[in-house]
Amino acid sequence: MNLKEKKLNSSTIYDGKIIKVELDEVELPDGRHSKRECVRHSGGAAALFVKDGQIALVRQFRYLYGEALYEIPAGKLNYGEDPEVAAMRELEEETGYRAAGSEHLIDIYPTPGYTDEIIHIYNVDKAAFVGQKLDEGEFLNCSFVPAGQVLSMIESGEIKDAKTICAVYAYFIRKAHA
Amino acid sequence: MNLKEKKLNSSTIYDGKIIKVELDEVELPDGRHSKRECVRHSGGAAALFVKDGQIALVRQFRYLYGEALYEIPAGKLNYGEDPEVAAMRELEEETGYRAAGSEHLIDIYPTPGYTDEIIHIYNVDKAAFVGQKLDEGEFLNCSFVPAGQVLSMIESGEIKDAKTICAVYAYFIRKAHA
C-alpha cells in the first residue's frame, strides 16, 4: 500500500526559540487533501553517563508538567551541530564531567504525530570532573544513582522521561546480550 | 534547591486539532522572568499487543519525518477520556483485534522541553479478531512480528518511535524479572 503524503503548501504560525510551528496542507494517498500541524525542532542530544555502576541523572523543573523530572543530561542541538558534540557539551555543562570518549547508543523519535525532533543518545563510561557550568537561567540538581535503583525508578513511574527510559533500557538490554 | 517556575501570564498562539501552542511568561527560581514555549496536547494511549510471541506493529507514513514508521497501535485521547479505553479503541481500529483485558505497562513523557503530552501504554495478551476499521484519512499496514525480531529492529534503528521502544523494552525487562 502506498502510504506517502505529499506537501502542497505550508504556512508558518510561530517561529520561536525552541520550536517553529507550521500548518501544512498535504495530499493523502487517496488524493484527498488534509492539514498537518508541524512542530519543527533542531533535534536533541543526550548522554547516558555510567560511573562505577551509577548513572548520572539531573533533576530539573519542567514547566509543561509542573514538576521536577529525573532525566539524563540533554539539550537542544544548534542548527547543523554534530549531535555527539552537543551531547558531550550538555553532559559537561550539567554534570561537570568531560567525557574521554563516547559510543552511539540509540536515536529516538519522541512523538511522531506532531514533531520532527530526533533525540540522539550516547553512552559515556569514562569522564573527568572539570566542574558544572549551567546556562544562565538553568537550574538543576545532578546526582549519581545506582543502576539497579534507576531501573526501579522506571518501574515505579518515578522516572517518566522517554529518552531516559530508552537510554537506560537500551544500555541494559545490550549489556545482557553482550 | 528550589527549582519551581511560576506562571505569570499566558497567550495562545495557535489552537489546532492535535495541538494548542501557548507562550507563557514565568518567574524563575532566582526571581528573573523568562518565556516558555508550550505545546499542549490531550495525551496519547498505546497498546503493546503480544499474540503467540509476536508483536502487533502498524506501519504508517509520518509526515513530519517524511517516512513510514513502525509503531505499536496508538492514538490521541479525547479530552477527559480514560487512557485505557482509548488504547483499546485504537488497538481495535488499527489491528482489528478487540482486547479481552489489559494491564498498565508504562506511562512516558515524550519530550518534556516543550510538550505536556503523556503517553499511557497498556499490554494486551488476549484479543479476538473483529475486523480493522480505520478512521477516514488514516492509512496504515498492520503486521505481527516475532518479538526477537522487534528487538533486533530497535537495535538496528529500524524502529525509532519512543513509545514503541519503551513499551517493548519494559515488557521484556519485566518478563526477565518475573
Q: Are residues A106 and A172 both part of a single domain?
A: yes
| Per-residue model confidence (pLDDT) at position A174 | 84
Q: Which ranges of chain A have pLDDT less than 50?
A: none
The answer to whether residues A49 and A24 belong to one domain is no
Q: What is the dihedral of CA B105, B107, B111, B114, to 10 degrees?
A: 160
Mutant choice from A39, A109, A161 vs B, greatest count of B C-beta within 10 A: A109
pLDDT digits (tens, 9 = 90+) for B85-135: 999 999 999 999 999 999 999 999 999 999 999 999 999 999 999 988 887
What are A67's three cell numbers? 514538576
pTM value? 0.97
- pLDDT > 80? residue B53: yes
In a domain, B56, yes or no: yes
Q: Is residue B1 part of a domain?
A: no
CATH number (domain holding residue B74): 3.90.79.10
Contact across the interface for A166 and B165, Cβ inside 8 Å: yes
Grid cell digits, residue B174: 519485566
Tell me what ipTM this predicted complex has.
Answer: 0.96
The C-alpha cell at B93 is: 481500529
The answer to whether the beta carbons of residues B95 and B89 sit under 8 Å apart is no
Q: Read off the pLDDT of each residue in B49-72 and give the average, rounded to a whole number.
A: 97
Please give the DSSP secondary-structure letter assigned to residue B135: P
Please check whether residues A133 and A60 belong to one and the same domain.
yes
The range of the structural domain enclosing residue B55 comes to 44-177
d(CA A72, CA A48): 6
Amino acid at B171: Y
User: Based on the domain organization, do B67 and B139 belong to the same domain?
Assistant: yes
DSSP state of B80: T
Inter-chain touch A165–B113, beta carbons under 8 Å: no
| Residue type at B101 in one-letter notation | G
Residues B141 and B89 grouped into a single domain: yes
Residue A172 lies in a domain: yes
Query: What's the CA gap between A23 and A38, in Å, rounded?
Result: 6
Local structure of residue B100 (DSSP, 8 states): S
pLDDT, residue A1, reads 63
Catalytic position from the list B136, B138, B155, B158? B136
Residue B135, CA distances (Å) to A19, B94, B138 in order: 29, 9, 5
Does residue B6 carry a pLDDT above 70? yes
From A165, which residue of chain B is nearest by alpha-carbon distance? B166
User: What is the residue whose three cell numbers read 540538581?
Assistant: A141
| A140, amino acid identity | L
- Is B158 domain-assigned? yes
Helix or strand run (H / E) with residue B123? strand B119-124
Looking at the structure, do residues A36 and A48 belong to the same domain, yes or no?
A: no
Looking at the fold, whether B51 and B108 belong to one and the same domain comes out as yes
- How far, in Å, CA of A61 to CA of A19, rounded? 19
A28 and A71 part of one domain: no
Residues 9-68 of A with CB under 8 A from B: 13-14, 16-19, 21, 23-24, 26, 28-30, 32, 34-39, 41, 44, 59-65, 68
**How many inter-chain contacts (A to B, CB under 8 Å) are there?**
206
Start-end of H helices in chain B: 83-95, 147-155, 162-177
pLDDT tens digits for A46-78?
A: 999 999 999 999 999 999 999 999 999 999 999
Assigned domain for A1 exists:
no
How large is the C-alpha radius of gyration of chain A?
A: 18
Q: Which of A126-140, A157-171, B7-21, B49-63 has the lowest mean pLDDT?
A: A126-140
pLDDT value of position B106: 98
Instruction: List C-alpha distances in Å: B88 to A29, A123, B44, B102, B139.
Output: 26, 36, 12, 8, 19
The total domain count for chain A is 2
- Assess whether B54 and B24 both reside in one domain: no
Q: What pLDDT does residue A140 have? A: 86
Whether B135 is in a domain gets the answer yes
Q: Is residue A96 part of a domain?
A: yes
Q: Same domain, yes or no, for B139 and B57?
A: yes
Which helix (H) or strand (E) element contains residue B101?
Answer: none
B161 shares a domain with B76: yes
Q: Are residues A61 and A17 in the same domain?
A: no
Q: What is the Cα Rg of chain B in Å? A: 18
Tell me whether residue B162 is in a domain. yes
Q: How far apart are CA B39 and CA A174, in angstroms?
A: 34
User: A151 and B173 in contact by Cβ < 8 A?
Assistant: yes
Alpha carbon of residue A65 to chain centroid: 16
- Of residues B90 and B138, the one with the higher pLDDT is B90
